[in-house]
């Protein structure tokens, strides 16, 4: 029996040391170090570690890789400590720190026990989450709407709140308040099945998070954590990858299937403000406060194109429909179109500005593209549609005298929602620009 000997005066007192916890100590190691290669989407060696059940599963005609109470006979541990670099896990990475290996060894020696609720749950779902303070019952004043998302059926609007997410119907009636969110929310997106809402934000200068909530408001998992707030979050065209941009100057890629981390890209010297996947899902473009925009090869994570034509922070980014050029927006009220190289295999290229759209107000916060139409919105209170291929102006909508800080576009129903600094949300007919509804998107004493 393990024990700690504590001396109180002359009498020794035996105190049992706490056993190693799978959900709080082992699962975070597996998620950070192992799951990207051994998860639901990619299972090298036909072995997965994305849940306790999978960690303990035995392959056909083979013993389990974790043998309870037998660490020295467990292949799982052997592969972590072997001196053979070709065999050691994780491959093509540094060996696990001695402290982490000791935890895994001790956990196996203690019987490789599970202390969560459901052994089939993903690692992200069982790792304990930080509990955030409750939102106020009513807001004393309007809060800027910094993030919006329309549900896949186009009937529900998710909006940022104070330490919460609020859900509304298109008539402006509140449907649900989702608690346990960090102080600020800057990015929202629904998974395609409409059952999970991803919310990105945090506490400025202290914490960045992406949390996954069910439609009923239950916390599923903390998908992403960083040292500063999450500023943008985008799914690729097939919803097989999630890109998270944060004020810790990084972009991190996750699998929406099990929330495993696939890659972290640290190439900017300041906040990453926005990200966009190319139409063919091979590349990712980023916009940064360091006044540059970049394109990354998603297969390798390497940067092969950097655009430095902006004189202010770059706040929005979107690929042209053909994927051969990129639009970026800045704080000077302009949108630049710059070319990506025509042949990028194994090479690095610079970037060249092709055209510019100006006169859009002091700030252009975001760019959103569906098909051959692109939307911009910014500090002059307007949302504008352009033809993405030709840059031709199509229609302009005036939301507020203050900043339009967020927008969500549901192409199948031709609905657009915009959120302003004054706490209002507008619902538009996207094809015509007709205003359908405006409402205050913050909980009040009487509604």
Does residue 313 have a cis peptide bond before it, meaning omega lies within 30 degrees of 0?
A: no
Q: How far apart are CA 407 and CA 296, in angstroms?
A: 25
In this predicted structure, the answer to whether residue 318 has a pLDDT above a threshold of 70 is yes
Q: How far apart are CA 284 and CA 300, in angstroms?
A: 11
The stretch 150-162 carries a mean pLDDT of 98
Q: Are the beta carbons of 241 and 254 closer than 8 angstroms?
A: yes
Torsion from C-alpha of 14, 17, 19, 21, nearest 10 degrees: 150
For 74-120, write each residue's pLDDT tens digit: 999 999 999 888 888 888 788 899 999 999 999 999 999 999 889 99
In this predicted structure, the answer to whether residue 17 has a pLDDT above a threshold of 70 is no
In this predicted structure, the answer to whether residue 11 has a pLDDT above a threshold of 70 is no
Task: Give 81-89's long-range contacts (Cβ < 8 A, gap of 24+).
Answer: 89/34
Radius of gyration of the chain (CA): 24
3-state SS, one letter per residue, for the chain: CCCEEEEECCEEEEECCCCCCHHHHHHHHHHHHCCCCECCCCEHHHCCCCEHHHHHCCCCCCCCCCCCCCHHHCHHHHHHHCCCCCCCCCCCCCCCCHHHHHHHHHHHHCCCCCCCCCCCCEHHHHCCCCCCCCCCCCCCCCCCCCCEEECCCCCEEEEECCCCEEEEECCCCEEEEECCCCCEEEEEEECCCCCEEEEEEEECCCEEEEEEEECCCCEEEEEEEECCCEEEEEECCCCCCEEEEECCCCEEEECCCCCCEEEEECCCCCCEEEEEECCCCCEEEEEECCCCEEEEECCCCCEEEEECCCCCCEEEEEECCCCCEEEEEECCCCEEEEECCCCCCCCCCCCEEEEEECCCCCCEEEEEEECCEEEEEECCCEEEEEECCCCCEEEEEECCCCCEEEEEEEHHHCEEEEEECCCEEEEEECCCCEEEEEEECCCCCCC
Q: In terms of pLDDT, which residue wins out, 331 or 124? A: 331
> What is the pLDDT, as a whole number, of residue 61?
79
7 band by pLDDT with thresholds 50, 70 and 90? very low
268 band by pLDDT with thresholds 50, 70 and 90? very high
% pLDDT > 90, the chain = 73
> What is the pLDDT, as a whole number, of residue 127?
84
Q: Provide the b/e sequence for 428-447 (b: ≥16 CB within 10 Å).
A: bebeebeeeebbebbbeeee
The stretch 348-371 carries a mean pLDDT of 88
18 band by pLDDT with thresholds 50, 70 and 90? confident
Lowest mean pLDDT among 119-128, 199-208, 304-313: 119-128
User: Nearest Cα to 316, choosing from 370, 264, 276?
Assistant: 276
Handedness of CA 218, 220, 225, 231 (dihedral sign): negative
> What is the pLDDT, as a whole number, of residue 130?
87
How many other C-beta atoms are found inside a 10 Å radius of the C-beta of residue 219? 18
Lowest mean pLDDT among 273-277, 318-322, 441-445: 441-445
Q: How far apart are CA 174 and CA 125, in angstroms?
A: 28
Q: Is the pTM of this model over 0.85?
A: no
Burial label for 344, CB within 10 Å (0-12, 13-18, 19+), is middle
In this predicted structure, the answer to whether residue 312 has a pLDDT above a threshold of 90 is yes
Tokens matching residue 241: 């990858």
């Amino acid at each position: 029996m393990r024990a700690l000997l504590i001396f109180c005066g002359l009498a020794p007192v035996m105190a049992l040391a706490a056993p190693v916890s799978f959900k709080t100590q082992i699962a975070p190691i597996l998620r950070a170090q192992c799951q990207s290669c051994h998860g639901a989407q990619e299972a090298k060696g036909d072995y997965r570690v994305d849940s306790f059940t999978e960690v303990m599963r035995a392959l056909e005609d083979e013993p389990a890789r974790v043998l309870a109470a037998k660490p020295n006979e467990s292949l799982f541990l052997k592969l972590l400590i072997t001196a053979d670099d070709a065999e050691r896990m994780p491959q093509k990475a540094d060996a696990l720190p001695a402290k982490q290996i000791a935890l895994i060894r001790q956990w196996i020696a203690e019987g490789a026990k599970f202390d969560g609720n459901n052994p089939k749950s993903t690692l992200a779902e069982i790792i304990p989450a930080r509990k955030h303070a409750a939102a106020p019952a009513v807001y004393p004043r309007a809060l800027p709407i910094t993030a919006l998302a329309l549900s896949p059926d186009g009937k529900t609007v998710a909006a940022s709140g104070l330490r919460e997410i609020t859900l509304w119907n298109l008539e402006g009636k509140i449907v649900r308040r989702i608690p346990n969110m960090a102080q600020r929310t800057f990015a929202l997106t629904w998974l395609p099945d409409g059952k999970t809402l991803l919310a990105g934000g945090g506490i400025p200068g202290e914490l960045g998070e992406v949390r996954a909530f069910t439609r009923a408001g239950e916390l599923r998992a903390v998908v992403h954590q960083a040292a500063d707030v999450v500023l943008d979050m985008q799914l690729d065209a097939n919803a097989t990858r999630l890109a998270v941009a944060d004020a810790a100057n990084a972009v991190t890629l996750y699998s929406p299937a099990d929330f495993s981390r696939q890659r972290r890209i640290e190439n900017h010297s300041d906040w990453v403000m926005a990200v966009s996947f190319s139409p063919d899902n091979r590349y990712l473009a980023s916009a940064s406060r360091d006044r540059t925009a970049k394109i990354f090869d998603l297969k390798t994570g390497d940067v092969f194109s950097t655009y430095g034509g902006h004189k202010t922070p770059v706040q929005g980014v979107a690929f042209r429909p053909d994927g051969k050029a990129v639009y970026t927006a800045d704080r000077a009220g302009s949108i630049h179109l710059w070319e990506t190289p025509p042949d990028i295999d194994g090479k690095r290229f610079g970037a060249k500005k092709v055209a510019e759209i100006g006169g859009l107000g002091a700030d252009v916060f975001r760019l959103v593209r569906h098909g051959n139409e692109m939307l911009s919105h910014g500090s002059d209170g307007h949302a504008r549609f352009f033809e993405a291929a030709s840059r031709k102006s199509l229609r302009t909508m005036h939301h507020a005298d203050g900043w339009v800080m967020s927008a969500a576009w549901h192409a199948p129903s031709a609905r657009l929602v915009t959120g302003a600094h004054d706490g209002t949300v507008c619902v538009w007919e996207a094809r015509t620009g007709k205003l359908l509804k405006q409402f205050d998107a913050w909980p009040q004493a009487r509604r």
